[in-house]
């Protein structure tokens, strides 16, 4: 029973942590509309659709205030003592102290909101930097492990050792090391998506997201095939099958799916790097051209005389749209995210 209670508290703590950003935003919005802190707490207790399980916490605070004549800061402090999630607990404790000191709720929530935004940005940047370091370590480990595997195979051939056993050992060591590093990368990734989830995504990213699950399943099945093939020590009598049985076939099958997604992702990254390379000079030239001509159409005509790499095609499309009569606010959006057929129709 104690174990079930612990698991339930951990599960509730995870749910409270997920809803905590909505709590700060919701209370900040309510504090700007209501003058009484008790009214804000009561409205938060009734906002189960927005705050989910957090609304029950504010319902308890409101009940202590209305039914048991507790002051609001004492009720918030009392309820905070029974909460294990550190973000929510710290928020309620700060709320109780601020109300006890006579700070207005709207001033307190404004400070909490601004601090929450700055903290989220800093944590997001730190998570990206940590993930970047882990990815660099993953690449270095993959290269060194591959070199070590080849060295072990050559050593086993020279000294007459069992190649299958050596190959099995190096495969397990390589798989275990990479799996541990992938786990660290998953833990270091920020909770929010790095790439936006708006519908106007590049087609290549949509394709990568669609292929993500089948690629992961195919690689996992190929890894199982690697282990099973190394355990099959009995020759089948077929030279072709025996030559492929130890590892090469399974390694090839396991490498094809990541190779496909890697090539597609490399194309997208290279395209983004090409755009960023000329973006600063393009923006400066666009501002100067707009100041001289006074119109976006005239500025595009001047910019077409210069070389901005992959941005040149976007400038030409924008100029053609303006030339045939498109309004400025309708000519420029979604140039980067349209397919060639959509661009021709536009």
Report pLDDT for 1: 40
User: What mean pLDDT do residues 88-108 have?
Assistant: 90
Instruction: Give the up-direction half-sphere exposure of residue 122: CA atoms within 13 A in the CB hemisphere.
Output: 6
Query: Could you tell me the pLDDT band of residue 58, with boundaries at 50, 70 and 90?
Result: very high
pLDDT at residue 227 is higher than 70: no
Paired tokens of 17? 């942590």
Whether 7 shows a pLDDT value over 90: the answer reads no
Query: Looking up tokens 């509730």, which residue turns up?
Result: 12
How large is the average pLDDT for residues 169-190?
A: 81
pLDDT single digits (tens) 104-125:
888 899 999 999 888 888 888 8
The residue among 330, 332, 319, 320 whose CA lies nearest residue 293 is 319
∠ CA 25-30-35, nearest 5°, is 145
Two tokens, residue 35: 């003058």
Give the residue, 32 or 214, on which the prediction is more confident: 32
186: confidence class by pLDDT, cuts 50, 70, 90? confident
Report pLDDT for 91: 93
More confident residue, 284 or 269: 284
What was the pLDDT predicted at 179?
82
Residue 278 has pLDDT above 70, yes or no: yes
- Angstrom distance (rounded) from CA 179 to CA 335: 40
Query: 3: pLDDT confidence band, cut at 50, 70 and 90?
Result: very low
The answer to whether residue 93 scores a pLDDT higher than 90 is yes
Greater confidence, 72 or 344?
72
Mean of per-residue pLDDT scores for the chain = 77
**What are the boundaries of each domain within the chain?**
2-103, 125-194, 274-345
Average pLDDT over every residue of 245-261: 64
* 70 and 78 Cβ atoms separated by less than 8 Å: yes
């Amino acid at each position: 029973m104690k174990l079930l209670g612990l698991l339930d508290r951990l599960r509730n703590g995870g749910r409270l942590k997920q809803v905590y950003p909505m709590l700060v935003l919701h209370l900040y919005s309510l504090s700007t509309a209501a003058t009484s802190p008790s009214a804000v707490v009561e409205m938060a207790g009734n906002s189960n659709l927005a705050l989910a399980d957090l609304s029950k916490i504010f319902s308890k605070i409101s009940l202590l205030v209305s039914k048991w004549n507790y002051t609001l800061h004492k009720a918030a402090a009392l309820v905070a003592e029974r909460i294990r999630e550190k973000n929510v607990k710290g928020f309620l404790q700060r709320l109780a102290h601020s109300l006890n000191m006579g700070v207005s709720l709207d001033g307190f929530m404004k400070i909490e909101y601004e601090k929450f935004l700055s903290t989220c940005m800093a944590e997001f940047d730190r998570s990206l930097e940590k993930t970047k370091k882990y990815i660099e370590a993953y690449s270095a480990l993959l290269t060194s492990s591959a070199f070590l595997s080849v060295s072990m195979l050559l050593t086993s051939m020279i000294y007459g050792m069992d190649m299958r056993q050596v190959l099995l050992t190096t495969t397990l060591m390589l798989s275990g090391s990479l799996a541990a590093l992938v786990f660290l990368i998953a833990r270091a990734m920020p909770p929010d998506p790095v790439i936006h989830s708006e519908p106007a995504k590049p087609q290549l990213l949509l394709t990568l997201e669609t292929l993500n699950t089948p690629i992961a399943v195919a690689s996992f099945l190929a890894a199982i095939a690697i282990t099973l093939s190394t355990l099959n020590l009995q020759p089948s009598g077929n030279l072709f099958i025996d030559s492929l049985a130890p590892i090469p076939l399974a390694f090839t099958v396991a490498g094809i799916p990541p190779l496909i997604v890697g090539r597609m992702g490399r194309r997208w990254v290279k395209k983004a790097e090409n755009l960023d390379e000329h973006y600063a000079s393009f923006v400066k030239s666009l501002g100067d051209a707009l100041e001289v001509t006074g119109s976006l159409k005239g500025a595009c005509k001047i910019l077409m005389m210069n070389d901005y790499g992959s941005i040149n095609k976007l400038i030409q499309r924008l100029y053609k749209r303006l030339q045939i009569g498109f309004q400025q606010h309708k000519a420029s959006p979604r140039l980067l995210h349209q397919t060639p057929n959509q661009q021709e129709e536009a």
